Structure 1
Amino acid sequence: MRFIDAEVTTLDLIRHGEPVGGRMLRGTTDHPLSERGWQQMQCATDELLIEGTPPWDAIVTSPLARCREFALWLGETHDLPVTVDPRLAEMDLGAWEGKTHAEVRALEQAMDLQAALWADPSRTSPPGGESVEAFDKRVGAAWQELVETPPGRHLLVVCHLFVTNAMLRQVLEQPLSRILAFDLPYAATCRLRHERHALGGTSLVEWIGR
């Protein structure tokens, strides 16, 4: 803790494990976890336990099956309350939904929009999908609620790659052009800390991609 007598809220973010169907631009396409995905999530959360006991006061999850089903199971296993927050759903990828990277590249004739999205998301959105600005706004609203109401909790947030990036952007105050700066593997975890103190509030990163 950097500020004396600060009220600390800790958020452990975990990206979902491998879904059924393998790697693709899934977005809001609602595939459940594969057997391997379940194992990845169990191993990752087991590493965060303290002598077999979870450090969390509650779990907050995306509504999509690859997050929600594991979150509900984990909550039941450890007797933790689980909240489903629609704002934590992955970015809607429009015409790219459910397609592999190769399939998306084959759709583009004059310009590789997929490469443009990775290069600068502030200038490109998936055709027919959610704008990066709208996505950032809804995840930012969820972030503010997580750290403010009520403060002092330790939460596990089960979410997605783009959502994790958007949460990290809230802390690092990156420009929107760098909202997709972190390419984290399935079941990767991050720990963020928000300290409320006499001078206001300070958000910090403890670790990324564990």
Structure 2
Amino acid sequence: MATLILLRHGRSTANTEGVLAGRTPGVELDDRGREQAAAVVDRLAGLPIASVVTSPMVRCRQTVAPLAAARGLEPVVEDGLAEVDYGSWTGRKISELVSEDLWKVVQSHPSAAVFPDGESLAGMQARAVAAVRRQVARAADEHGENAIVLACSHGDVIKAVLADALASHLDNFQRIVVDTASVSVIAYTALRPFVARMNEQSGDVTSLVPPPPSEEESTSDAVVGGSTNA
């Protein structure tokens, strides 16, 4: 169908303060985060990005702003990519939350985790996966089957989307690492997605996107014996 580049926002003030930002208004990138956002422009320079999509959170919109400006693209705000609604946990120190009983559930059985006065992680995964598939389908309709979509979101949200693409249960998503300003790549086809990269943090990523298939190839079939792209 199309290729999705998942970009986690740059480092934020909440990241450095050890606070669970959640949907707290006004959480911005710190100095390092702004440097990371500026570096994304060069990192993705070789990719013909057709669409830029972002979580409504300020830190995500700040992260994609330099790239969108360089490409002359207007970012599409996608509510489905918003940070987890952590409810009454929002704004609290991580060091305090680790003593909560729910913390153990979040770590070992996240599919059962429901944040007090917030949403469940299972509900977050469902709306995030629906959002990326909707945006990928839109880009394919507007720009062709080989369209590339960049979507900027949050650590837990990206991990949940990657777990879905890997056909891995949500209870395994804590085994996935997604650092700030990292890039993960999923190629969506008619039958199944292919995860090309996870947590890529530096360097030229032109090779991360598979080339368009030839007429003899099926876009939904894996290469028997592994890829020949040595």
* TM-score relative to the length of structure 2: 0.77
Task: Identify the residue that residue 111 of structure 2 maps to in structure 1.
Answer: 122
Matched, 1:98 2:91: yes
Please list, as runs of the form range in 1=range in 2, the aligned pairs for 1:1-210 lying within 5 A after superposition: 8-21=1-14, 22=16, 23-30=18-25, 31-50=27-46, 54-105=47-98, 108=100, 112-151=101-140, 152=145, 153-196=147-190, 201-210=191-200
Counterparts of 1:40 and 1:73 in 2: how far apart (Å)? Answer: 10
Question: Is the Cα contact below 8 Å between 2:114 and 2:120 reproduced in 1?
Answer: yes
Task: Identify the residue that residue 5 of structure 1 maps to in structure 2.
Answer: none
Counterparts in 2 of 1:36 and 1:150: CA distance versus 1, 3 Å: closer
> How many residues are aligned here?
192
Structure 2: tracts of 5 or more residues without a match: 201-230
Kindly provide the amino acid, as one letter, of the partner of residue 204 in structure 1.
F
Matched position secondary structure for 1:174: coil
Question: Is the Cα contact below 8 Å between 1:63 and 1:85 reproduced in 2?
Answer: yes
Structure 1: tracts of 5 or more residues without a match: 1-7
1:61-95 CA deviation, whole Å, 9 max, x = no partner?
Answer: 00000001232342122212310001100111112
Matched position secondary structure for 2:187: strand
Question: Is the Cα contact below 8 Å between 2:22 and 2:91 reproduced in 1?
Answer: yes
Counterparts of 1:68 and 1:120 in 2: how far apart (Å)? Answer: 31
Question: Is the Cα contact below 8 Å between 1:121 and 1:177 reproduced in 2?
Answer: yes
Question: Is the Cα contact below 8 Å between 2:53 and 2:75 reproduced in 1?
Answer: yes
Matched position secondary structure for 1:26: coil
1:119-155 CA deviation, whole Å, 9 max, x = no partner?
Answer: 1101222222211222122112102212322422101
Counterparts of 1:143 and 1:16 in 2: how far apart (Å)? Answer: 16
Counterparts of 2:49 and 2:139 in 1: how far apart (Å)? Answer: 14
Counterparts of 2:154 and 2:42 in 1: how far apart (Å)? Answer: 19
Question: Is the Cα contact below 8 Å between 1:20 and 1:33 reproduced in 2?
Answer: yes
Question: Is the Cα contact below 8 Å between 1:44 and 1:189 reproduced in 2?
Answer: no
Tell which has more relative contact order, 1 or 2 (C-alpha 8 A, sep 6+). Answer: 1
Counterparts of 1:38 and 1:134 in 2: how far apart (Å)? Answer: 31
Counterparts of 1:42 and 1:180 in 2: how far apart (Å)? Answer: 28
Question: Is the Cα contact below 8 Å between 2:54 and 2:153 reproduced in 1?
Answer: yes
Structure 1 runs of 4+ with >4 Å offset = none
Counterparts of 2:40 and 2:63 in 1: how far apart (Å)? Answer: 12
Counterparts of 1:98 and 1:46 in 2: how far apart (Å)? Answer: 33
More deviation in 79-88 or 176-185?
176-185
Question: Is the Cα contact below 8 Å between 1:93 and 1:128 reproduced in 2?
Answer: yes
Aligned-residue Cα RMSD (Å) equals 1.8
